[in-house]
């Protein structure tokens, strides 16, 4: 059972990111402020939901939320500032775009870079504990998946419509055969050491 809030009497925003472990594509984050009476029994950590469930929840969350926004950091900046800082920056970008400034932040994970002077709490596995973080996880994931589907049309050999940029057998095979694209994160190890010289499929 997801909890509705951590701080009862303030405007609280949940934040989560998607795409941190990918080899290609931007990292996305979402910030969501839900009404205090928000109810959605189907809502859960986006990783526990099917793609169909996430896509069904997205318009409901976007309609019912008091405010929501998406932040994006692209691969060149990920390479420049590293993926952890890029994840924090994507959350900051999302918070920048909220139409209402929250009074408290709930952050999925155990680390965060302070945003303005707004107090925050980091919650390990928060997307499975608090509704606002779970809602943010669904929006970040679905918006990023949509973005990766567009990139797949440009580079279909990398199978991004299925792997969404994560390291998979087909993704590694395409990197080895065709090399990296402009959307790959060049600061990442794109091929594991045991696959650099010899690929067997």
Q: What's the CA gap between 98 and 116, in Å, rounded?
A: 14
Q: What's the CA gap between 66 and 85, in Å, rounded?
A: 27
The answer to whether residues 91 and 31 touch, using CB atoms and an 8 Å cutoff, is yes
Q: What is the pLDDT of residue 195?
A: 54
The answer to whether residues 113 and 141 touch, using CB atoms and an 8 Å cutoff, is no
Mean pLDDT over all residues of the chain?
94
Q: What is the pLDDT of residue 79?
A: 98
Per-residue confidence at 8, pLDDT binned at 50, 70, 90?
Answer: confident
Q: What is the pLDDT of residue 45?
A: 82
Rounded alpha-carbon distances, angstroms, from residue 141 to 6, 7, 70, 72, 144: 23, 25, 10, 12, 5
% of the chain at pLDDT higher than 70: 96
CA diameter of the chain: 58
The answer to whether residues 31 and 104 touch, using CB atoms and an 8 Å cutoff, is no
How many Cα atoms occupy the beta-carbon half-sphere of 5 within 13 Å? 18
193 C-beta neighbours (distance < 10 Å), count? 7
The whole model's pTM is what?
Answer: 0.94
pLDDT (average), residues 115-131: 97
pLDDT (average), residues 20-47: 94
Helix (H, G, I), strand (E, B) or coil at 159: coil
Q: What's the CA gap between 146 and 154, in Å, rounded?
A: 13
pLDDT (average), residues 142-148: 98
pLDDT, one tens digit per residue, over 84-118 is 999 999 999 999 999 999 999 999 999 999 999 99
Q: What is the pLDDT of residue 200?
A: 44
Per-residue confidence at 46, pLDDT binned at 50, 70, 90?
Answer: confident
Tokens standing for 133?
Answer: 């973080």
Per-residue confidence at 192, pLDDT binned at 50, 70, 90?
Answer: confident
Provide long-range contacts, Cβ within 8 A and 24+ apart, for 153-160: 155/181, 155/183, 158/24, 160/24, 160/25
Whether residue 199 is predicted with pLDDT greater than 50 in this model: the reply is no
The answer to whether residues 145 and 164 touch, using CB atoms and an 8 Å cutoff, is yes
Q: What is the pLDDT of residue 117?
A: 97
Q: What's the CA gap between 72 and 100, in Å, rounded?
A: 19
Residues whose CB falls within 8 Å of the CB of residue 185, separated by 6 or more in sequence, listed in order: 22, 23, 24, 75, 78, 79, 83
């Amino acid at each position: 059972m997801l909890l509705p809030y951590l701080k009862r009497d303030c405007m609280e925003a949940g934040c989560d990111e998607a795409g941190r472990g990918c080899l290609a594509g931007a990292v996305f984050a979402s910030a969501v402020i839900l009404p205090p009476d928000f109810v959605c029994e189907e809502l859960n950590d986006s990783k526990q939901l099917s793609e169909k469930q996430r896509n069904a929840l997205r318009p409901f969350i976007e309609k019912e939320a008091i405010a929501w926004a998406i932040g994006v950091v692209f691969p060149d900046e990920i390479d420049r500032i590293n993926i952890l800082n890029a994840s924090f920056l994507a959350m900051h970008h999302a918070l920048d775009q909220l139409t209402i400034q929250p009074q408290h932040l709930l952050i999925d994970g155990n680390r965060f870079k302070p945003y303005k002077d707004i107090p925050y709490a980091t919650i390990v596995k928060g997307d499975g504990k608090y509704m606002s973080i779970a809602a943010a996880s669904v929006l970040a994931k679905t918006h990023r998946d949509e973005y990766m589907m567009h990139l797949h049309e440009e580079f279909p050999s990398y199978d991004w419509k299925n792997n969404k940029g994560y390291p998979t057998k087909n993704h590694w095979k395409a990197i080895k055969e065709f090399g990296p694209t402009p959307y790959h994160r060049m600061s990442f190890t794109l091929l594991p050491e045991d696959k650099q010289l010899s690929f067997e499929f």
